[in-house]
């Protein structure tokens, strides 16, 4: 299995298009950082619109590396799934399109093993992409903007987290984000099994994410009670839960998480989706006639 995994990773990283995603992330993150460096005060003013009538807002302290990273993740974790789909959606469909799937499938490895190896390789790619995001979004932001307490704006309240209580939350958040992105990879991978060309699965994955994200954000009671709790996009936001803290009479409880059980529940639901998508992919692929 390890041998096959090495081969799959070799193929992924020998391909020029793999590096497009890393380049895109680098550019987007740098653009956001530059924008905040020169226009961050306006952004802070928007976020503080509910607070600056009652309080003196320390805008310079608020705009620090931890906040910049939070802003980047807020934006990027909508767009990174598209980049994940680029590779995962190509995993099987791309091979079919190239004509190499029929060679692979006629080798002495079971179809299940072939699929699992390819999925693992797609997942490793996803994790490397996330590490790249983490490096640029967190480390470079800290270098450019320094560190201070983290201000987290929510719809009905804001949380301030002490600087010394932030870093471990980001590690946990990235860990959670990994599960979310692997869920996206598994969806794209599953769709890839049904197609002979990678454009279809990539576009389908992106469309599904966009539609589900809209449904997640819509505040319609009918959806709130029926489908929203089951959408994986609802649970992909769970990384933010690490930044929602408990408070006692308005005082942040150091090291606390407002609802850890909810985050675990979201993680399990996402893992459930990963298993579901993989099982569907394997069941279908085992029976599929390879005509490409």
Whether residue 232 contacts residue 270, with contact meaning beta carbons closer than 8 Å, is answered with: yes
In Å, what is the CA distance from 238 to each residue of 126, 163, 172, 180, 276?
18, 21, 11, 9, 20
How far apart (Å, rounded) are the C-alpha atoms in residues 284 and 194? 8
**Toward another protein, which CB reaches closer, 166 or 185?**
166
Structure tokens at 160: 């301030």
In whole angstroms, how close is the CB of 238 to another protein at the nearest point? 6
**Toward another protein, which CB reaches closer, 95 or 204?**
95
In whole angstroms, how close is the CB of 281 to another protein at the nearest point? 18
In whole angstroms, how close is the CB of 228 to another protein at the nearest point? 8
In whole angstroms, how close is the CB of 10 to another protein at the nearest point? 7
How far apart (Å, rounded) are the C-alpha atoms in residues 243 and 161? 8
**Toward another protein, which CB reaches closer, 11 or 124?**
11
**Toward another protein, which CB reaches closer, 65 or 241?**
241
Identify the sign of the CA torsion 224, 71, 159, 138.
positive
How far apart (Å, rounded) are the C-alpha atoms in residues 87 and 119? 10
DSSP E strands: which ranges in 61-200?
150-153, 158-161
In whole angstroms, how close is the CB of 18 to another protein at the nearest point? 10
Whether residue 180 contacts residue 235, with contact meaning beta carbons closer than 8 Å, is answered with: yes
**Toward another protein, which CB reaches closer, 109 or 171?**
109
């Amino acid at each position: 299995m390890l041998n096959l995994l090495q081969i799959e990773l070799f193929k992924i990283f020998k391909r020029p298009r793999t590096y497009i995603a890393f380049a895109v992330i680098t550019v987007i993150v740098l653009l956001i950082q530059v924008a905040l460096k020169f226009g961050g005060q306006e952004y802070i003013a928007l976020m503080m619109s509910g607070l600056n009538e009652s309080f003196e807002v320390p805008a310079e302290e608020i705009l620090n590396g931890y906040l910049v990273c939070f802003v980047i993740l807020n934006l990027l974790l909508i767009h990174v799934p598209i980049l994940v789909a680029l590779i995962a959606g190509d995993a099987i469909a791309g091979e079919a399109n190239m004509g190499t799937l029929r060679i692979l499938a006629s080798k002495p490895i079971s179809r299940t093993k072939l699929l699992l190896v390819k999925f693992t390789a797609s997942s490793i790619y996803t994790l490397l992409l996330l590490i790249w995001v983490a490096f640029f979004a967190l480390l470079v932001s800290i270098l450019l903007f320094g560190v201070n307490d983290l201000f987290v704006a929510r719809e009905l309240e804001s949380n301030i987290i002490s600087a010394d209580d932030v870093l471990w939350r980001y590690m946990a958040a990235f860990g959670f984000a990994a599960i979310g992105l692997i869920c996206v990879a598994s969806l794209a991978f599953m769709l890839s099994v049904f197609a002979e060309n990678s454009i279809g699965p990539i576009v389908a994955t992106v469309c599904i994410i966009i539609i589900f994200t809209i449904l997640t954000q819509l505040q319609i009671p009918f959806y709130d009670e029926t489908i929203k709790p089951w959408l994986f996009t609802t649970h992909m936001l769970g990384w933010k839960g690490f930044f929602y803290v408990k408070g006692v009479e308005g005082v942040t409880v150091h090291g606390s998480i407002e609802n850890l059980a909810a985050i675990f529940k979201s993680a399990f639901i996402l893992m459930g989706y990963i298993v579901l998508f993989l099982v569907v992919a394997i069941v279908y692929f085992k029976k599929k006639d390879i005509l490409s």
